[in-house]
């Protein structure tokens, strides 16, 4: 079943990121549409974490463009997305679920 008419929620066009002499991400073009399940697979150094950091506006691209929910990551309404890193140094004694419940309580959610 094709999902080609669904809204594009993640779009990257010729997205690249370099760290000094290291090209972490080179000219990535991708579209992920609403309702799709998408996974980033690749060996260490393939650019997976760099792409996530670009999506969250933790770092800026060296070149190219990225849009999340139709807007640049810098202008994105943070309440519309979530991110749970593999290692959370703030509360290392909590599981991922416990951390999400804790953060939800801080935001007034039940």
Query: Where does CATH 3.40.50.300 sit in the chain?
Result: 1-76
pTM over 0.85: no
Indicate the DSSP class of residue 109.
-
Q: Where are the beta strands (DSSP E) in 20-100?
A: 22-33, 63-68
pLDDT at 15: 97
Which has the higher per-residue pLDDT, 48 or 102? 48
What pLDDT, in 10s, does the model give residues 69-100? 998 888 877 777 778 777 666 666 778 888 88
Please check whether residue 65 is in contact with residue 15, taking contact to mean a CB–CB distance below 8 angstroms: yes
Q: Is the dihedral of CA 94, 77, 3, 66 positive or negative?
A: negative
Question: Which CATH number fits the domain 1-76, given the four candidates 1.10.10.10, 3.40.50.300, 2.20.25.10, 3.40.640.10?
Answer: 3.40.50.300
């Amino acid at each position: 079943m094709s999902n080609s008419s669904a809204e594009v929620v993640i779009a990257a066009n010729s997205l690249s990121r370099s760290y000094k002499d290291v090209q972490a991400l080179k000219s990535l073009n991708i579209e992920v549409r609403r309702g799709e399940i998408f996974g980033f697979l690749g060996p260490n150094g393939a650019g997976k974490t760099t792409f996530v950091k670009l999506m969250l506006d933790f770092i800026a691209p060296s070149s190219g463009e990225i849009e999340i929910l139709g807007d640049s990551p810098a202008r994105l309404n943070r309440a519309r997305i979530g991110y749970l890193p593999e290692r959370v140094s703030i509360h290392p004694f909590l599981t991922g679920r416990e951390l999400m419940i804790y953060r939800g309580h801080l935001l007034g959610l039940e």
